[in-house]
Amino acid sequence: MTITVTGTSPPPPPTEINYLILGDSIAAGTDNASIRNAIVQQINANSSLLGLLTDIQNLTANPENYLVGSGYRYTYQFKSYLEAKGHTVILTDLSVPGDLTADLLSKVQANLTAVAAADVITISIGGNDVLAAGA
């Protein structure tokens, strides 16, 4: 018995992926203490004012490379995974440490174009709502 499948084959994976990150500190991978610690580490590592200013400039330009714990940002690890698979990733990171579910809803409503254009969306939210409820 021979089985013949007709139709079109599945499309190849996209080479460009629009990746939208939404959420709180779990998605952002940091909190204010981490930012403060990263700056203190940069200050302690530099004895010259010029070196310190250069590091602060680099910190603000590329925070994902400097923030304490940034190696554990699942969102950026996923971005790296997609890039390793040959995709170009267009990243929109709207995650903010401390965000509540109401903040996420506002961001989605204010960024409907980005949401509609996204091929991949990761969301991590709710932890701060639980903490606020216990306060």
- Of 83 and 37, the structure prediction assigns the larger pLDDT to 83
Among residues of the chain, what percentage have pLDDT more than 70? 59
| Torsion sign over Cα 107, 109, 113, 116 | positive
Among residues of the chain, what percentage have pLDDT more than 90? 27
Judge if pTM exceeds 0.75: no
The full DSSP string for the chain is ------SPPPPPPPSEEEEEEEESHHHHT--HHHHHHHHHHHHHH-SSHHHHHHHHHHHHH-HHHHSTTGGG-HHHHHHHHHHHTT-EEEEEE---TT--HHHHHHHHHHTHHHHHH-SEEEEE--HHHHHHHH-
- The CATH number, out of the four listed (3.30.70.360, 3.40.50.1110, 2.60.130.10, 3.30.1330.10), of the domain defined by the range 13-29+73-135: 3.40.50.1110
Rounded average pLDDT over 91-97: 88
Rounded average pLDDT over 17-29: 86
Rounded average pLDDT over 55-71: 54
The predicted pLDDT at position 133 comes to 79
pLDDT at 102 over 90: yes
The mean pLDDT value of the chain amounts to: 76
Domain residue ranges in the chain: 13-29+73-135, 30-72
